[in-house]
Amino acid sequence: MESTTPSTPDAEAPLVRLRNVGKRFANGTLALQGMSLNIGAHDFISFLGPSGCGKSTALRLIAGLTRASSGEMAWTGGAAARTDRDLGFVFQEPTLMPWAKVFDNVWLPLKLAGMKRDAAAPVVQQVLEMVGLSRFADVYPRELSGGMKMRVSIARALVTHPRLLLMDEPFAALDEMTRIKLNNDLLAIWREHRFSVVFVTHSVYESVYLSNRIVVMAARPGRVIDEIRIDEPYPRGEAFRTSSRYNAHCTAVSQSLHGALHGVDIDH
Ligand code: ADP
């Protein structure tokens, strides 16, 4: 397939804009301070940083699961332009209903939106196919491996064809080989379906492999200290993963993260 560099997201209207967004919890913790970010159409953005730097808080703010205490956040076209269907969320744990078969787990968001089982069936089948689980609609989550459960969770998040997929350390609990496979499959799905992704990770290697933009964050208070673009073409496969360019990007991102750990802002 033809190699494509991620489009120039800045040239298009961003999907979501954050302006100086902050979050202080009731106990006084300043979890996030002054975050500004444009999430472009078809961006793959990673939030990278040490524990407690506000990655999950930022993701939950974007998802509308928690409210900002300062600043502004807006979807392109205003609040009316965004519906629940525009957003998919994948947590670190697959959070599947153990008593329900794979099909029913994936159907859930459509069911909640009022879609009957029969009407939803083709969409559910299509999204199961997308994640490589078309033959597993009728099994229970307990019969699946950790990686397969995560695939179900991704299918459930994508079943409404969201414009934005938010992922909170989705592969952190998986073994290395499964993680690499899921990284590759996620990139393939993202490239084909052209939604935007915001992906929280602790891993420099994972963020460089996946993203076109990496937002480096620091803790106490949680804040953005750097943004690094990974201007490398997709698809990215083993050739990229073993290239000197990949290594050079990982080194640059590690240095920025090192600054984050020591509270130093990096000047590019
Ligand atoms: P990360 O995802 O980068 O590990 P979080 O966004 O979970 O960071 O947390 C950022 C900071 O906010 C941490 O100091 C954390 O302890 C604090 N925090 C997170 N959630 C809450 C909450 N509900 N109440 C109070 N403090 C919180």
For residue 79, what is the domain's CATH number?
Answer: 3.40.50.300
Assigned domain for 34 exists: yes
Instruction: Give the range of the structural domain holding residue 177, as residue numbers without chain letter.
Output: 13-261
Hey, whose CA ends up nearest to atom 6 of ligand 1? 54
Assigned domain for 4 exists: no
Measured from the Cα of 51, ligand 1's closest atom is 4
Assigned domain for 7 exists: no
The pLDDT of residue 263 is 55
Measured from the Cα of 47, ligand 1's closest atom is 3
Instruction: Give the C-alpha separation, 100 to 110, whole Å.
Output: 15
For β-strands 213-218 and 70-75, DSSP reports them as: unpaired
The pLDDT of residue 80 is 56
- Global confidence as pTM: 0.91
Assigned domain for 60 exists: yes
Q: Exposure of 177 by Cβ count < 10 A (0-12 exposed, 13-18 middle, 19+ buried)?
A: exposed
Q: Is 121:198 a contact under the CB 8 Å cutoff?
A: no
Assigned domain for 152 exists: yes
Assigned domain for 216 exists: yes
Hey, whose CA ends up nearest to atom 13 of ligand 1? 52
Assigned domain for 3 exists: no
Instruction: Give the C-alpha separation, 127 to 101, whole Å.
Output: 15
The pLDDT of residue 259 is 78
Ligand 1, pocket-test mutation among 21, 27, 29, most atoms within 8 A of CB: 29
The pLDDT of residue 189 is 97
The pLDDT of residue 85 is 75
Q: Residue 18: which of 50, 51, 64 has the closest Cα? A: 64
What 124-130 contacts at long range (C-beta under 8 Å, 24+ apart), as own/partner pairs, is 124/155, 124/159, 127/155, 127/158, 127/159, 128/102, 128/103, 128/155, 130/155, 130/158, 130/189, 130/193
Number of domains in the chain: 1
Give alpha helix (H) positions in the chain: 55-63, 102-112, 117-130, 146-158, 176-193, 204-210, 238-241, 244-261
Segments of the chain with pLDDT less than 70: 1-12, 77-84, 260-261, 263-268
Please give the C-alpha separations between residue 186 and each of 132, 151, 190, in angstroms, as whole numbers.
Answer: 11, 9, 6
Residue with tokens 């600043």: 71
Assigned domain for 1 exists: no
Measured from the Cα of 30, ligand 1's closest atom is 12
Q: How far is the CA of 239 from the centre of ligand 1 (A)?
A: 37
Ligand 1, pocket-test mutation among 23, 25, 223, most atoms within 8 A of CB: 25
Cis peptide before 221 (omega within 30 of 0): yes
